[in-house]
Amino acid sequence: MDAVYRRRRMTVAVLGLIILAVIVGATIVIVQALRSPSEDPAPVAEPTETAEPTAPMPTGDDASGACPTEAVTVGAATNEESYDPGASATLELIVTNTHDAACRIAVGTSEQTFTVRKDGETVWSSEYCADPEADGDAAEAEVVFAAGSEKRAALKWTVEPVDKNCNRMAEGFEGGKYELVTSLGETESEPVEFEITAPEPTEEPSEESVEEDSGEEDSGE
């Protein structure tokens, strides 16, 4: 009986060792499963700042918007201070961008007006003979002005009065002081003064000269 009992105790002890070994082995497997495949933990990437996406910006002329109205100034000039009736004059419209950046200004011929005044009254205007359709694309042109820059438009004008339908009038301009005023849209220049000389008087034949001419004709007969 003692031998049988000892064998049973030995068998129980061996089974206990086997169970313990199984438990230890399972624990090792669980620990390894919880760790990363390698012994050293993988390095963690440091957070970095990501640049915010920006829309592409236009460059060159496309970057320029319309000039503020208050940044556009208009001036006037003439190539001479005095003109004879029928002479050819050059009138200028001067546009300046006073803005601190480049911008677009509508300078088409449909926006330009040259006006000649005397004593505050309009005696001639470029609108009298304007033909926007003939000007084509130039009528609606827009131009980029650099900051602080100016551009000029010149108009050749024959110093003769016309009516509002561009028909030449019988009587010419009388001599005296006149003013040129230019405008671009609603923006108007300060007046610039110039002079038109008085036309030479036409001498009417005197009665004596008429009689002399008549006598010569009689003697010739």
Q: pLDDT tens, 36-60?
A: 444 444 444 444 444 444 433 444 4
Query: Binning pLDDT at 50, 70 and 90, where does residue 152 land?
Result: very high
Query: So what's the pLDDT on residue 136?
Result: 80
Q: What is the average per-residue pLDDT within 78-104?
A: 97
Q: Is 135 exposed, middle or buried (0-12, 13-18, 19+ CB in 10 A)?
A: middle
Give this prediction's pTM. Answer: 0.64
End-to-end Cα distance, the chain: 195
Query: So what's the pLDDT on residue 64?
Result: 65
Beta 103-106 vs 82-83: how paired, if at all?
Answer: unpaired
DSSP 119-162: TTEEEEEGGGG--HHHHGGGGG-EEEE-TT-EEEEEEEEES--B
Please choose, from the candidates 195, 191, 173, 171, the residue with its C-alpha nearest in 3D space to the C-alpha of residue 182. Answer: 191
Query: So what's the pLDDT on residue 206?
Result: 58
Highest mean pLDDT among 58-72, 131-145, 177-191, 199-213: 177-191
Select the more confidently predicted residue: 73 or 17: 73
